[in-house]
Amino acid sequence: MRVRSSGFTLIEMMIVIAVIAILAAIALPAFNEQVRKSRRSEAMADVGTLQLAMERWRADHPTYAGSGAGYPAVPVRSHYLITPTADATTYTFTASPQNAQAGDRCGNLVATAGQKPTWATASCNQ
């Protein structure tokens, strides 16, 4: 009489591991792109908020340039460094990717007075 043992064979285990590896190879890059996309959205929101604050500032003051308690504060984020520049007639905000976002395909986000923020890569501006 022959006793049959139950369990997985080595071939079955290798097939399962191969299927998991293929799924991970497809899913991980898609997941990482969604994370980068959400960080870009956060940068867009921050720059948009700064543009609104600058326009409110300008409504009460003769120039965009200035300092004081009411001047818009630049948010500190770990994925984008926002650099403001302003003079009497215009301002520019540049959001540069850093840390985990460094090397992002969209590059820098630039917003100038009276214009919609744009990414350095044209395909990201849609």
On the question of pLDDT at 9 being above 70, the answer is yes
**Digit-coded pLDDT (tens) for 31-90:** 999 999 999 999 999 999 999 989 988 888 888 877 665 677 888 889 999 999 888 899
Q: What pTM value is reported for the model? A: 0.78
Domain that holds residue 14: 10-125
- Section 112-122 average pLDDT: 92
On the question of pLDDT at 113 being above 70, the answer is yes
Is 57 domain-assigned?
Answer: yes
Is 3 domain-assigned?
Answer: no
> If you average pLDDT over every residue of the chain, what do you get?
89
- Round to whole Å and give the CA distance between 104 and 121: 10
Tokens of 9: 């064979």
Is 5 domain-assigned?
Answer: no
Is 88 domain-assigned?
Answer: yes
- Round to whole Å and give the CA distance between 50 and 58: 12
What is the total count of domains within the chain? 1
On the question of pLDDT at 19 being above 90, the answer is yes
